Amino acid sequence: MLPTSETLADLSEGEVLARIFPRLPGSAAQLLGPGDDAAVMRAPDGRFVVTTDMMIQGPDFRLAWSSPHDLGWKAAATNLSDVAAMGARPTALVVAIAAPPSTPISVIEGIADGLRDCCEALAPGCGVVGGDLSASDALTLAVTAFGDLEGREPVLRSGARPGDVVALAGRLGEAAEGLDLLFRLAVDETGTPDAALAQALRAQHPDAVAAQLAPEPPIDRGPAAAAAGATAMLDVSDGLAIDAGRLARASGVGIDFTRSALGENVERALGGGEDHGLLATFPPGAVLPDGFRALGVVTDAAGRVLLDGRPHDQAGWDPYRGWDGAVV
């Protein structure tokens, strides 16, 4: 039997873990890593930041489009982004994976490699300190991520004040463009996701497809924004307009975007989901940290999102309404 055809059902849990552990990144903040009932982490300033997110085959990804490496990468990246959006530096992840017993061990190894490569690229020093393996029908990744505020106050959604500059680090609309391309051009005539078509599409549109399948959120800009005095910040996961609305309501302010700052496709910039950029507000006159660009200003139009001073309404992604039920 070739090594790559080994499945989870062929190996004991201990054997699977022995395959995965050496591939995972260690955490610089770990006092005790995987192997006991729980891990023990350092929390140097007496606090830690924590967020959790689950990705499920079907509603959240298709195996014909995402490689195992993509899945591990994206599961890490989206959680790291939530940590960064508090102004914290990511320190560690714990990862629960559920998979059908027929899953090749190479899939789990690929996920582990994606987790490692994402941490090394976007959040050096952040590692995997624990996890869990279960059986399921649909491949499922549940990641919980931790961060260190390094003595700073967390940057909440609620701190924006009228007159602040609205700024963004990261891409806008590219992940949505990638998803749109995949649904239009990487499906066969029956509408079923197709791996070969996805691979060809990725060669043609590498930036958009990668923004969807293996995003590179600007993790280190979170702590940088906090250090530069950001008054509010959040991860742009459901589209700029939706997430700006959240920040606006939490802060009791308006967010007025400047159309000319939003690029060529303004609707996609405002509506596209899964950007995982960092939307932050800075006091008037603040020097924006490297990587942030101004998109508009904070106004006193409580809870409203505006475009060149006019109201802008935008429907959003909803996990129970947006899934077509397909799991291929």
Residues making up the binding site for ATP:
131-132, 157, 237
- CB nearer to a second copy: give 146 or 282: 146
Binding residues for Mg(2+): 37, 51-53, 82, 132, 235, 238
Q: Which of 19, 47, 161, 259 contacts a second copy by CB under 8 A?
A: 47
Six token digits for residue 151: 């003595």
Contact positions with a second copy (CB under 8 A) in 150-169: 154, 156-157
- CB nearer to a second copy: give 105 or 266: 105
CA angle (193 as vertex; 188, 196 as ends), nearest 5: 75
CA angle (48 as vertex; 46, 53 as ends), nearest 5: 170
Q: How many residues bind a second copy (CB under 8 A)?
A: 74
Note whether 125 binds a second copy by CB under 8 A: no
How many whole angstroms from its chain centre is CA 161? 27
Exposed, middle or buried: residue 2 (CB in 10 Å: 0-12, 13-18, 19+)? exposed
Note whether 147 binds a second copy by CB under 8 A: yes
Q: C-beta of 47: minimal distance to a second copy in Å?
A: 6
- CB nearer to a second copy: give 60 or 70: 60
Q: Which of 70, 113, 177, 235 contacts a second copy by CB under 8 A?
A: 235
Q: Which of 26, 58, 291, 303 contacts a second copy by CB under 8 A?
A: 58
How many whole angstroms from its chain centre is CA 246? 17
φ/ψ of residue 83, rounded to 5: -65, -45
Sheet-wide strand order for 127-135: 127-135, 89-99, 140-148
Exposed, middle or buried: residue 231 (CB in 10 Å: 0-12, 13-18, 19+)? buried
Contact positions with a second copy (CB under 8 A) in 289-328: 318-321, 323, 327
- CB nearer to a second copy: give 7 or 199: 7
**Interface region with a second copy, contact rule CB under 8 A, candidates 62-70, 134-142, 206-214, 258-266:** 134-142
Sketch the per residue contact string, 83 through 122, with a second copy: x for CB under 8 A, - otherwise: x-xx-x---x-xxx-x--x---------------------
Cα 9 from Cα 7, distance rounded (Å): 5
Contact positions with a second copy (CB under 8 A) in 8-27: 8-9, 11-13, 16
- CB nearer to a second copy: give 144 or 265: 144
Q: Which of 4, 18, 28, 52 contacts a second copy by CB under 8 A?
A: 52
Cα 98 from Cα 118, distance rounded (Å): 20
Q: What is the DSSP string of 241-284?
A: HHHHHHHHHHHT-EEEE-GGGS-S-HHHHHH-----EEEEEE-T
Residue 124 burial (CB count, 10 A): 14
Q: C-beta of 146: minimal distance to a second copy in Å?
A: 7
Q: Which of 20, 23, 24, 48 contacts a second copy by CB under 8 A?
A: 48
